[in-house]
Amino acid sequence: MGKERELVETVIKGIQEKKGQKIVVANLQGIEGAICSYFVICQGNSPMQVEAIYDSVEEFMRVEKNEKPAHVVGLENALWVAMDYTDVMVHIFVPDTRNYYNLENLWQDAVLEEIPDLD
- For residue 22, the surrounding DSSP H or E stretch is strand 21-27
Q: Between 45 and 33, where is the model more confident?
A: 45
Tell me what pLDDT residue 104 has: 87
pLDDT tens for 57-106 read: 999 999 999 999 999 999 999 999 999 999 999 999 999 999 999 998 88
Answer for the pair 72, 83: CB distance below 8 angstroms, yes or no: yes
Identify which of 6, 33, 4, 24 has the alpha carbon closest to the alpha carbon of residue 109: 33
**How many C-beta atoms lie closer than 10 Å to residue 72's C-beta?**
14
Tell me what pLDDT residue 9 has: 98
Q: How far from chain centre, in Å, is Cα 11?
A: 7
In eight-state DSSP terms, residue 118 is P
pLDDT at 108 over 90: no
